Structure 1
Amino acid sequence: MERREFFASLLAGGTAGMSVDLILFPLDTVKTRLQSPHGFSKSGGFRGIYAGVPSTAIGSFPNAAAFFVTYETMKCLLHSKSSPYLSPVVHMTAASVGEVVACLIRVPSEVVKQRAQVSPASTTYQVFAMTLRQEGIRGLYRGYKSTVLREIPFSLVQFPLWEFLKDLWSWKKGRSLDSWQSAVCGAFAGGFAAAVTTPLDVAKTRIMLAKAGSTTAEGNVLLALTDVWKTQGFTGLFAGVVPRMTAISLGGFIFLGAYDKVRRLLL
């Protein structure tokens, strides 16, 4: 990847990520509280809907930038060594590697954000300081494995579907798509991926919010899913699916549309 493309991906990805995370933060708070083991009302209900937003504001730009720089770099490397028929596999692989890298930044931000969302009486800094004091750096990375296990399947669905929908629409129109059309493809791809990966998102939330020292806090995704299934059944596994789909559909529209637009402008 050329230097110009590298910086275009970095700035476009960071800008798109920060925009969507801040715009859709209230929906994310509602989703987190619906998934909380304490229940929606006890976790704050509709009060303090922006609790934890400083953590998102700090982590969003570098997280999204890291993802897209890795994604575009891997696409360039893999496309040069594979046939056009393997494009979906290239997109899946590039997205998966991108998520592993981005989660190194995303998880600490997510841990602090989600704990602040279900404890609106505490400030983001207080939640951060308490996590460090009680659990150390490892506490900030609690749920890394479950986040990666959520994000990789999500990306395996979202990005190949986004690229496929763009190619299909472009082929039918006989020209390259406008940024808003790329955004519409992103909305459909994001919403579908969000729906099918909601149980993994529930498991990730439970692990991040679990009391230190509990079995759930150890990070076993299967154990967390089994516990949710036993206590709440099918509805528990898909808790928060509507706000999650809504947020990610809107997010896919803004995120992938803004990324496409900013990257084109920079290039």
Structure 2
Amino acid sequence: MDQPGFTASLVAGGVAGVSVDLILFPLDTVKTRLQSPQGFNKAGGFRGIYAGVPSTAIGSFPNAAAFFITYEYVKWFLHSDSSSYLMPVKHMLAASAGEVVACLIRVPSEVVKQRAQVSASSGTFHIFSNILYQEGIQGLYRGYKSTVLREIPFSLVQFPLWEFLKALWSWRQDHVVDSWQSAVCGAFAGGFAAAVTTPLDVAKTRIMLAKAGSSTATGNVLSALHRVWRTQGLSGLFAGVFPRMAAISLGGFIFLGAYEQTRSFVLELGRESP
């Protein structure tokens, strides 16, 4: 990938990530509290809805930038004819690689954020230092496997669907989609992907919030899912599905629209520079 394309993906991904995470943070807090083992009200209800936001503010830009740099690089590396039937496979591989890399940044931020969301009285830095003191660096990466196992299926649904909808819309109107059209495609793709992967998100939340040393804290996704199924049934597996769908649909609209808009702007600046 050329230097302008690399820079555009870096800046656009970071701007898009920060925009969506900060705008939709309250919905994410509601979703986390609905999924927490102690229940919504004991986890804080609607109080302290911005608890944990510093962790998100710090992690958003590098996390989203890492994803989109990897996504665009792998798409470029696996270049193929745009009409090829292998295009969806290319998008799936690129999105999966992007998630594996981005989760190296996302998971520590997510662990601190989610614990702050269900303990609104504790500050973000206090939670961060407690994790390091009690569990070490591996405590910040608790749930890495479950996060990757959530994100890869999510991306396997969202990104090929997003690219397909953009291509279909472009074909119907006989020109490349505008940023707002890309955002609409992203909202639909994100909402659908969010719904079908909610059980994996529930498992990830339970693993990150579990007490150190407990069986859930070991990170076994199937065990966490089975425990939720046994105690709460189908409703437990889909806890928080509506705020998750709302947040990710709106997030897909803002995130992918902001990404396309910012990337086009940065590339245009690059072309105008001497």
- Normalised by the size of structure 2, how large is the TM-score? 0.96
CA distance in 2, matches of 1:37, 1:135: 21
Question: Aligned-pair distance for 1:80?
Answer: 4.5
**Alignment partners' CA distance in 2, 1:236 and 1:96:** 27
Q: Distance in 2 between matches of 1:83 and 1:137?
A: 45
Report the residue type matching 2:191 in the other structure. Answer: G
Name 1:237's counterpart in structure 2: 237
- Work out whether 1:21 is the aligned partner of 2:18: no
Alpha carbon RMSD of aligned pairs, Å? 1.0
Consecutive aligned runs of 4 or more in structure 1 exceeding 2 Å deviation: 80-83
Q: What are structure 2's unaligned runs of at least 5 residues?
A: 268-274
- State the percentage of identical aligned residues: 79
Q: Distance in 2 between matches of 1:143 and 1:166?
A: 33
Tell me what 1:73 maps to.
Answer: 73
Counterpart of 2:216 in structure 1 is: 216
Deviations along 1:98-141, whole A, 9 cap, x unmatched?
Answer: 00000000000000000000000000001101111110000000
CA shift, 1:83, in A, is 7.3
Instruction: Show the counterpart of 1:38.
Output: 38
Check conservation: 2:80, 2:87, Cα contact below 8 A.
no
- Maintained 8 Å contact 2:112/2:124: yes
- Which whole-Å CA distance do the structure 2 matches of 1:116 and 1:151 have between them? 22
CA distance in 1, matches of 2:82, 2:9: 22
Q: How does 1:1-267 map to 2 (within 5 A)?
A: 1-80=1-80, 84-267=84-267
Does the residue aligned with 2:78 lie in a helix, a strand or coil? helix
Are the counterparts in 1 of residues 216 and 224 from structure 2 also a CA contact under 8 Å?
yes
The 1:20/1:209 distance shift into structure 2, 3 A limit, reads same
For the residues of structure 2 that align with 1:177 and 1:36, how far apart are their CA atoms? 40
Which residue identity lines up with residue 44 of structure 1 in the other structure?
Answer: G
Amino acid at match of 2:84: P
Separation in structure 2 between the aligned mates of residue 131 and residue 48 of structure 1, nearest angstrom: 21
Once the 2 structures are TM-superposed, how far is the Cα of residue 81 of structure 1 from its aligned partner? 8.7
Structure 2: distance between partners of 1:33 and 1:75: 36
Q: Tell me, in whole angstroms, the C-alpha distance in 1 between the residues paired with 2:162 and 2:262.
A: 17
